[in-house]
Chains A and B, each alone.
Chain A
Amino acid sequence: VSSENKNEVDYEAIDTEIEAVFVRVKNEYARTLPKKLAELESVIDSARAEPDQPELFTNALNELHRMKGTLGSYDFPELARLVASVEKLLRQNTDGLDPKALSSSFWEQLNPQIAAIWAEGNKQAREISDSAANT
């Protein structure tokens, strides 16, 4: 290797290295998804169970909003989309309304959406786990 070559920076190799680090960080995040989704569901359940406490409803909205951004940044677009759809539904139905006014049928329509979030989250966590087992 000439001294000239020694000073050359292999940007492609650096990018590949950085991408590998991002994949590792994404995988670490994916492994924590079931725990994070359980926390999210718990916050939503609290808002549903105690409709006369509006701060619980605000917590649920904030948590959905936060997770949407984080999931997208960790490159889980489908999961981010599913979480965003629940956030949107909650916001649309409470725009200017007291959360107490939400009917039980409204909350019931969230169930399949939350189930879809769980299915996608578990799928992502399983795929990461399987790929780790195969390497």
Chain B
Amino acid sequence: MADDDADIRKICNLSLSAVGKWQVVLAATGAEAVTKAKEEIPSLILLDVMMPGVDGVTAFHQIKAIPSLKEIPVILITAKVQPEELEKYMSLGIAGVIMKPFDPMRLPAEIMRLLSQHYESSGVQSDVSSKKT
């Protein structure tokens, strides 16, 4: 899970680990997210859109260009709510978008809902059960 905001990393980590019972790997930048993804090969990647330097969308493209990571679903986190922006993100091939603010008690359920939709539309089996994010 990558976000440059330490407070969001903290609440997200708590939500995903305590509520979702997932193993979470945190990154503070898009570049760190790509590096850690290569090391950890997670089952799911969450990227904040607006990060300085390598932003979420750039990190997404870098991840998809790495053969060992290209099948891993990526969910973007953003506070922006413009429908045309949502469409643009979805057209990139992401698995979904989480809107900020999010409810930390419901975040894992929302992620699972997005993944179900994603796998249903792509016809692929979910790998997010032993869960490292």
A interface residues, Cβ below 8 angstroms from B: 15, 18-19, 21-22, 25, 29, 62, 65-66, 68-74, 80
Complex contacts, A15 vs chain B, CB 8 Å: 105
Complex contacts, A62 vs chain B, CB 8 Å: 50
* 11 residue pairs bridging A and B, Cβ less than 8 Å apart: A21-B14, A22-B11, A22-B105, A25-B11, A62-B50, A65-B50, A66-B5, A66-B79, A68-B100, A73-B100, A73-B103
* A69 adjacent to B18 (CB under 8 Å): no
- What is the interface of chain A mostly: helix, strand, loop, or mixed? helix
- What is the interface of chain B mostly: helix, strand, loop, or mixed? loop
Q: How far is the CB of B51 from chain A (nearest CB, A)?
A: 10
Complex contacts, A80 vs chain B, CB 8 Å: 101
Contact A69-B79, Cβ < 8 Å, known A25-B10, A62-B50: yes
Complex contacts, A71 vs chain B, CB 8 Å: 101
* A73 adjacent to B14 (CB under 8 Å): no
Q: Looking at chain B, what size class is its interface with the partner chain?
A: 10 to 19
Cα distance A74–B101 in the bound complex, in angstroms: 8
Binary interface encoding of chain B residues 67-110 relative to chain A, with 1 for a CB under 8 A from any of its CBs, else 0: 00000000000010000000000000000000011111100000
B interface residues, Cβ below 8 angstroms from A: 5, 7-8, 10-11, 14, 18-19, 50, 79, 100-105
Contact A22-B104, Cβ < 8 Å, known A65-B79, A66-B50, A69-B79: yes
* A72 adjacent to B105 (CB under 8 Å): no
Known A74-B7, A74-B101; 13 more pairs at CB < 8 Å: A18-B105, A21-B14, A21-B18, A22-B11, A66-B79, A68-B100, A69-B5, A69-B100, A70-B5, A70-B7, A70-B100, A70-B101, A73-B104
